[in-house]
């Protein structure tokens, strides 16, 4: 069991630990979601489930994964563990429209919230929302919020995490009072279990083809990527960092969210910020600033965190956006780049090779 003590540095006195009602804590989370996690968007509060009970909070991460947040309240620790697993089973059946309905009910409770999930996502993560029926294939994560847990429950949670790779964790919150002001302390039971699961997935056989999501819109166009030979992402490190996973010589299939697959090519250069990239066009050096279509790839060029990043590609087969290939069951993902080891990715690659007559 984790226990945290705080001392006031000025006089060395121990800060007094106090209790806070769970409903007040829930309201605090809704008002200040960063207290829970900066990468979570709250999309539902008191969400009714098939279990005929209510999830305290339902959150979404930038890649579309869902996080069930359950406050322990007056239940025993073992009861809340069983309940959150039941909630996860129910949420795992949700489709894209179910999530939209969950958020619409959240807006009814909180009229000042953005009216649509797309707007809420844009405001929270500063990037365009590209989830749809194809890309909505979330992992379901579970977080139990508590001031403390008994040894038995921690042993159960540890077993589920370490032996079964279940995406479950405990978030300990303790409230302290000092000079008439309240302080909130947060401690995780363990590291992010998903990171360990993803690393273990790398042991599975990867087919050698990387998936790239190329989000078209106000900041970029597929026509540019075709003409000059590149893929790009930006607007936050969550979107651009995965581009680092591409090595020179790797083969990629490019996907435009909500449209379909548009290109197959080979990576020819390492990651660069857009402001530093040049293209050789008929012996002339061209930069993004020279593009004449009005698209500004150099937005936030002075902020490395928000800037656009580019990887050059030699395209082998491409189609324009209007002829994007999209079939039921195709692999799609919210990440800018990933190297899937799931069977649906193998099926997607084989089907695209067949459609585009790619022989290797």
Three-state secondary structure along 298-323?
Answer: CCCCCCCCCCCEEEEEEEEEECCHHH
Contact predicate 184/35, CB 8 Å:
yes
Query: Is the pLDDT reported for residue 1 higher than 50?
Result: no
187 shares a domain with 224: no
118 CB contacts (<8 Å, ≥6 apart)? 129
**Over the stretch 283-310, which tens digit does the pLDDT of each residue have?**
889 898 888 777 888 888 888 888 999 9
Domain assignment present for 92: yes
Half-sphere exposure of 235 (CA within 13 A, CB side): 22
188 shares a domain with 221: no
Contact predicate 63/333, CB 8 Å:
yes
pLDDT over 90 percentage in the chain: 36
330 CB contacts (<8 Å, ≥6 apart)? 134, 260, 261, 344, 348, 351
Residue 280 CA to residue 284 CA, distance in Å, equals 6
H/E element, 55 = strand 54-60
Containing structural domain, residue 291: 209-355
Helices (H), 126-190: 151-162
Domain boundary among 181, 201, 221: 201
207 CB contacts (<8 Å, ≥6 apart)? 345, 346, 349
Helix axes 117-125, 96-109, angle to 10 degrees: 80
Concatenated DSSP letters of 263-289: EEEEE-S--EEGGG-EEEETTEEEEGG
298 shares a domain with 176: no
Domain assignment present for 360: no
335 shares a domain with 260: yes
Domain assignment present for 102: yes
228 shares a domain with 195: no
What's the number of domains the chain is made of? Answer: 2
Domain assignment present for 61: yes
Domain assignment present for 235: yes
45 shares a domain with 165: yes
Domain assignment present for 1: no
Q: In Å, how far are 46, 99, 281, 291, 321 from 260, measured between CA atoms?
A: 35, 22, 28, 25, 8
Q: What is the CA radius of gyration of the chain?
A: 23
Domain boundary among 166, 181, 201: 201
Closest CA to 25 of 130, 173, 166, 150: 173
Residue 148 sits in a domain of what CATH number? Answer: 3.40.1350.10
88 shares a domain with 35: yes
Residue 54 CA to residue 59 CA, distance in Å, equals 14
50 shares a domain with 104: yes
Residue 234 CA to residue 192 CA, distance in Å, equals 24
**Over the stretch 138-182, which tens digit does the pLDDT of each residue have?**
889 998 887 777 778 778 888 888 788 788 888 877 777 776 676
Domain boundary among 185, 201, 217: 201
CB neighbour burial string for 131-150, b if at least 16 within 10 angstroms, e if fewer: beebbbbbebbbbbbbeebe
Residue 247 CA to residue 262 CA, distance in Å, equals 21
Range name among 36-50, 85-99, 179-193, 340-354 with the lowest pLDDT average = 179-193
147 shares a domain with 32: yes
Q: In Å, how far are 57, 202, 273 from 186, measured between CA atoms?
A: 17, 31, 35
Query: Is the pLDDT reported for residue 126 higher than 90?
Result: no
266 shares a domain with 117: no
223 shares a domain with 134: no
Residue 259 CA to residue 273 CA, distance in Å, equals 26
Residue 56 CA to residue 68 CA, distance in Å, equals 8
Quick one: pLDDT band at residue 9, thresholds 50, 70, 90? low
Helix axes 77-91, 151-162, angle to 10 degrees: 30
Domain assignment present for 34: yes
Query: Is the pLDDT reported for residue 256 higher than 80?
Result: yes
Residue 70 CA to residue 56 CA, distance in Å, equals 5
- The whole-model pTM stands at 0.61
Domain assignment present for 220: yes
Q: How far is CA 274 from the centre of its chain?
A: 23
305 shares a domain with 189: no
Residue 58 CA to residue 70 CA, distance in Å, equals 9
Half-sphere exposure of 169 (CA within 13 A, CB side): 16
Contact predicate 313/265, CB 8 Å:
yes
**Over the stretch 54-102, which tens digit does the pLDDT of each residue have?**
898 999 988 788 999 988 766 666 777 888 899 999 998 888 899 999 9
Average pLDDT taken over every residue of the chain: 83
Task: Report the range out of 156-165, 209-218, 258-267 with the highest average pLDDT.
Answer: 258-267
């Amino acid at each position: 069991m984790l226990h945290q003590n705080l001392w006031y540095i000025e006089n060395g006195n121990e800060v007094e630990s106090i209790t806070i009602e769970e409903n007040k804590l829930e309201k605090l989370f809704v008002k200040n979601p960063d207290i829970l996690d900066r990468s979570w968007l709250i999309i539902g509060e008191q969400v009714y489930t098939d279990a005929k009970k209510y999830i305290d909070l339902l959150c979404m991460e930038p890649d579309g994964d869902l996080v069930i947040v359950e406050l322990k309240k007056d239940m025993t620790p073992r009861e809340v563990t069983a309940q959150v697993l039941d909630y996860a089973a129910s949420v795992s059946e949700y489709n894209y429209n179910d999530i939209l309905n969950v958020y619409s009910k959240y807006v009814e409770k909180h009229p000042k919230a953005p009216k649509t999930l797309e707007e809420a996502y844009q405001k929270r993560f500063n990037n365009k929302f590209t989830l749809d029926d194809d890309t909505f294939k979330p992992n379901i994560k579970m977080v139990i919020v508590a001031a403390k847990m008994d040894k038995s429950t921690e042993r159960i949670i540890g077993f589920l995490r370490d032996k079964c790779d279940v995406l479950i964790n405990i978030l300990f919150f303790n409230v302290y009072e000092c000079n008439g002001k309240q302080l909130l302390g947060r401690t995780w039971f363990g590291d992010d279990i998903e990171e360990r699961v993803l690393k273990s997935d790398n042991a599975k056989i990867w087919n050698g083809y990387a998936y790239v999501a190329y989000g078209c819109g106000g900041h970029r166009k597929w026509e540019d990527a075709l003409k000059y030979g590149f893929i790009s992402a930006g607007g936050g490190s969550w979107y651009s960092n995965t581009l680092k996973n591409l090595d020179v010589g790797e083969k990629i299939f490019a996907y435009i969210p909500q449209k379909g697959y548009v290109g197959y090519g080979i990576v020819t250069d390492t990651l660069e910020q857009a402001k530093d990239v040049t293209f050789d066009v008929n012996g002339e050096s061209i930069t993004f600033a020279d593009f004449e279509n009005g698209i500004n790839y150099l937005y936030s060029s002075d902020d490395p965190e928000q800037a656009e990043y580019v990887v050059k590609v030699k395209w082998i087969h491409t189609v324009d956006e209007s002829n994007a290939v999209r079939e039921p069951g195709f692999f799609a993902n919210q990440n800018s780049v990933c190297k899937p080891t799931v069977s649906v990715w193998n099926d997607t690659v084989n089907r695209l090779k067949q459609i585009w007559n790619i022989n290797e």
